[in-house]
A and B are shown apart, each in its own frame.
Chain A
Amino acid sequence: MIATARQRLNALGIPSIYAVLLLFYLVAAVLVALFGRGTFISGANISNLAVRSVALGIVAVGQTFAILAGSLDLSVAYLISVVAVMSSYTMQGDPDRVPRAVALVLAIGAGVGLANGLIITKLRLNAFIATLGTGLLMQGVLNASFDNFAGSVPSSFEQLGYGKWFGVPISVVMLLAVAGVGSFILRRTRFGAHIYAVGGNRETARLSGVRTDRVIIGAHIVCSLTAALSGLFIVSRLRAGAPWVGPDGVYDLESIAAVVVGGTALSGGRGGVWGTLGGVFIFSVLDMMFNQLGIDPFLKQVLRGLIIIAAVASYSVRSREAAA
């Protein structure tokens, strides 16, 4: 039954993960109705679900770019912390300083992405080690300069985290916009096509004249920019930034997990942004389900880990990939 649903969705161009998402959602609704408190299917809940997904979702979109190109980025969590702290510190609660802060953190994001990309392509380092290194660098510098909440966010900026437009939370709009832009880039620009090529088979891409180094650097810049955006969202919710924000949320490993659960192969070359969002939503549905069922939140962590393994196993069993 799941197989045919998958096929039908694939024919429509929708990643198959959404069939699983729907399944999870319905199961959750049933379980909550039977054992939990409150209703599961309600406008407020769906809105809640979406907002919960924003922080991880935005950075996962960027991680998708990195992984599609055959790389990955472990530094995003620390970058998020840097952005959270730097933006709130620069803003100091003053609405006039918001544009300056946003520009600053986006520049930082682009710079970090550039650095990651250069280290990987020019020093020819393994992405794991390279981004681990830059992440630690950022954490170190940040922790040395700040050890607590710094600055604050003006209430106008908090709109990003809490405001609504015609009933839809602004943050969700931002998430969908980021995903939309990401998907657009991947599908409709040369850069996007080249990302798939480089991730699929770097040699073939190179022989066809694709500038593989530039593509990888570009993918990393996109990834870091989304991490910066995610950091801005988080700080708008927290009202001030602190150095532990990124690692606390485990954004690095979780974004990678969301990407692979969503159908993008860790080796690169196939998958996409909407699949990743599907993965993020699944995690959120599980979260909410456990909350409303009164299940221990730690059990959810246990299940999350197992689900990641099961999801990837099902993909690779289907396509017979070799394992490392």
Chain B
Amino acid sequence: MATQAVPQESRGATWSRTLLRRLAAVPPIYPILVVLFAWIIYENPNFTDPPVFLAFLRRASPLLILAAGQLFVIAAGGYDLSVGSLITLTVLGAALMIDGDPSNTYWVIGALYLIGIAVGVFNGLVVSFLRVSSFITTLGMLLTLRGAALLWSDGAPAGYLPDNFRVFGRRFIDDVPVLGQLPYAVIVLVVFGALATFLFHGTNFGKQVKALGDNPRSARLSGVSVPKVRILTFVFSSIAAVTAGILLGGFAGVSMDVGTGYELEAISAVVLGGAVLGGGRGSIVSAMAGALSLRALFTLLNLLGLPSPYRAAVQGLIIIGAAAYAAYRERHR
């Protein structure tokens, strides 16, 4: 393979140019994350203690998982607005199906995943074959699933989730070296993240997702089965939602609003992480970094004494700023 001839310049100049180019290529979310963490640590030096940091991660895990799932859909060029309602359905449904009897927990979890997969398949089929935009389709599903959740629970979320269900969200493994107590949620997060990273970056599926989002015509003409890939992205996003729901149900308990707003947060996280709405780019780790940044931001605002209502305002500003910056970078590549 021949490399382009480059006019000779001083080695020092080349070296610093390469370094600058490498730095410019780093997605901006990582420096932001570093700054946020630094500031948090400055405000609360306890943050570096394993229990505190792990508690933070535990609370953040549903959003991170959700963001990883959403990235698949966004990278393929669509949106999945139904995930928030799917979380609510998962939690309420779990309470109802388990009905207080811990022996039901495991098959119920299985059933919940089946429901999630069905939702994903439905979304994918409608978008691919009925040619309804993913925005509208998943919007419709958002309303439908929320209604279904409320219908099922008769509007009064009742029941409690037994301990063996809540263990994933709430409990930890004791006596882990160095870290002390390791929350199960963090383990789930890491496993899911690894799985998502493998699927997105290490399999043909991931490559086809990106090709599809980048240029659907060219993907089709290169043999990619567009409907199949698209359906799988929605399925994966729904699986992420069910997983996030299980964790949320674990530490937040049963309530009607448990999933509300999560879809918009997940999309924001993905955009912050550098994926472009419209598809073709992105990485799982950056998307999760975006989610982590959002949670870090909230934590920081809490520490600074800024009342929680302001968090929405700041989130809004950050989203606009980050998206504008990303758009600017896109145009000047």
Q: Which residues on A are within 8 Å of B, measured CB to CB?
A: 119, 123-126, 128-130, 132-145, 147, 250, 253, 256-257, 260, 266, 296-309, 312-313, 316-317, 320-324
Contacts and interface: CB of A to CB of B under 8 A. Distances in A.
A140 B312 CA distance: 4
A125 B327 contact: yes
A301 B131 contact: no
Contact of B316 (A134, A298, A308): A134
A129 B130 CA distance: 26
B147 A303 contact: yes
A320 B312 CA distance: 39
Interface stretch (B32-40, B179-187, B282-290, B317-325): B317-325
A298 B312 contact: no
Interface of B: 77-79, 81, 126-128, 130-137, 139-151, 154-155, 264, 267-268, 271, 277-278, 307-317, 319-320, 323-324, 327, 331
Nearest to A130: B320
Nearest to B321: A133
Contacts of A125: 320, 323-324, 327
A253 B139 contact: yes
B136 A309 contact: yes
A144 B77 contact: no
B205 to A, nearest CB: 20
A301 B309 contact: no
Q: Which of A126, A300, A305 has the most CB of B within 10 A?
A: A305
B140 A257 contact: yes
20 contacts: A126-B323, A128-B267, A132-B319, A138-B313, A140-B314, A143-B309, A253-B143, A257-B140, A298-B149, A298-B150, A302-B148, A303-B147, A305-B143, A309-B136, A309-B141, A313-B132, A316-B130, A323-B132, A324-B77, A324-B78
A96 to B, nearest CB: 31
What 5 A-B pairs come out closest when comparing CB atoms? A140-B313, A301-B147, A143-B309, A305-B144, A136-B316
Contact of B135 (A134, A143, A266, A304): A266
B313 A323 contact: no
B306 to A, nearest CB: 8
Contacts of A119: 320, 324
Given A133-B317, A143-B312, A313 B144 contact: no
B257 to A, nearest CB: 10
B207 to A, nearest CB: 20
Contacts of B151: 296, 298-299, 301-302
A179 to B, nearest CB: 23
Contacts of B154: 296, 298
A130 B12 CA distance: 43
B144 A266 contact: no
Given A129-B277, A309-B137, A316-B130, A299 B319 contact: no
A316 B126 CA distance: 11
Nearest to B137: A309
B140 A309 contact: yes
Nearest to A123: B324
Contacts of B315: 136, 140
A140 B311 CA distance: 6
A152 B316 CA distance: 29
B128 A323 contact: yes
A306 B140 contact: yes
A292 B261 CA distance: 31
A116 B35 CA distance: 29
Given A302-B151, A308-B140, A144 B324 contact: no
B132 A316 contact: yes
Nearest to B139: A253
Given A130-B320, A132-B268, A141-B313, A312 B132 contact: yes
B130 A317 contact: yes
Contact of B313 (A137, A302, A316, A324): A137
B309 A140 contact: yes
B148 A309 contact: no
Contacts of B268: 129, 132
Contact of A136 (B134, B137, B313, B331): B313
Contact of B147 (A134, A137, A298): A298
Contact of B131 (A132, A139, A303, A313): A313
A298 B155 contact: yes
A139 B319 CA distance: 14
B140 A144 contact: no
A141 B146 CA distance: 27
A221 B30 CA distance: 36
A206 B50 CA distance: 58
A268 B142 CA distance: 23
A89 to B, nearest CB: 16
